[in-house]
Amino acid sequence: MTQSVAFIGLGAMGYRMAAHLPKYFEKVLVWNRNFSKAEQHAAEYGTTAVELSQAVQADIIFSCLPTSDDVEKLIEGVEIKSGSIWIDCTSGVPDAARRLVEKLKVQNVDFLDAPVSGQTVGAENATLTFMVGGDVDAFERAYPAMAALGKLIQHVGEPGAGFAVKAINNMLLAVNLWSVTEGFSTLKAHGVNLDAALNCVNASSGKSFVTENIFPQRVLSREFPVTFGLPLLAKDTGIALDLVKDAKLPAPLLALTQSLIQTANLTAEPNSDFSAAAKLYESWSKITLK
């Protein structure tokens, strides 16, 4: 049986992710709040721009919106096809996933929390990592659709587990971004050439995704290209800290990082990339990382 697939939310991630689907599925429906983006997607990739009420009649429905709140509000107003699977790629809130699983069960719809990592470049190259929470049978049925967009498709547990893994992953990114900012500002204060220092760290035990990619490409280059908004990272660190609180664990480093990223977000220029969090530290240290 030919499956129809829909993609809801054609933002920085969704626009690129949905572009791969026509290679694997005959019928690919797209919807976006600003509908002209859906029409542009259809013209560019051979998808079909439809109303939301039609999009939710597909066998497999992807969504990728900023927050779980956005997804819950959107789902409130629609009648979804019975027997379909909803794959939510939003970096969302675990409690929302559990609520949506229960809510959609009544309509005979499976809900998977399936956030992704790999940035817009991973969306473009279909090399994303999917971290998926929810029913194993639904995961297996949805696997081919996710595999069309990603490289590692990993089931991580019960509903909400995917969102939890994603939030902690992004918290680790934030911790690293901030610590590299402090470390490299210190090196600059000591007169060290930062490109040379980066070469050494990237061949040593302190290397990370931030030192290998984010610092050279975004911070030291002073480009700060806006592909992953700072408000989204602030949201993710907030979700991670809520998880810590729920678990009643001490996490001083994570709490401090959440607060720093929150402050960076409040003081940043509107529409800043997450890497621009480094600019808050620059404003304190009076050192420009270049």
Nearest to 138 by CA among 60, 75, 85: 85
120 neighbors 128 (Cβ within 8 angstroms): no
Q: Shortest Cβ contact with ligand NDP: which residue?
A: 11
Instruction: Give one DSSP letter per residue of 93-160, joined into a string.
Output: -HHHHHHHHHHHHTTT-EEEE--EESHHHHHHHT-EEEEEES-HHHHHHHHHHHHTTEEEEEEEESTT
Neighbours of 157 (CB within 10 A): 14
Smaller CB distance to ligand NDP: residue 185 or 229? Answer: 229
Which residues lie near ligand NDP (CB under 6 A)? 9-14, 32-34, 37, 64-66, 70, 74, 90-91, 116-117, 119-120, 227-228, 232
**In sequence order, which residues have a C-beta less than 8 Å from that of residue 127 and are 6 or more positions away?**
118, 150, 151
Residue 253 backbone class (left: φ over 0; alpha: ψ -120 to 50; beta: rest): alpha
Nearest to 145 by CA among 219, 54, 84, 190: 84
Q: How far apart are CA 25 and CA 29, in angstroms?
A: 10
Q: How far apart are CA 259 and CA 262, in angstroms?
A: 5
Catalytic residue, from 37, 166, 235, 279: name it: 166
End-to-end Cα, the chain, rounded Å: 56
Smaller CB distance to ligand NDP: residue 185 or 257? Answer: 257
Smaller CB distance to ligand NDP: residue 65 or 165? Answer: 65
Smaller CB distance to ligand NDP: residue 37 or 98? Answer: 37
Which residue type sits at 262?
Q
φ, ψ dihedrals at 124, nearest 5°: -65, -40
The answer to whether 23 is a known catalytic residue is no
38 neighbors 31 (Cβ within 8 angstroms): yes
Active site positions, annotated: 166
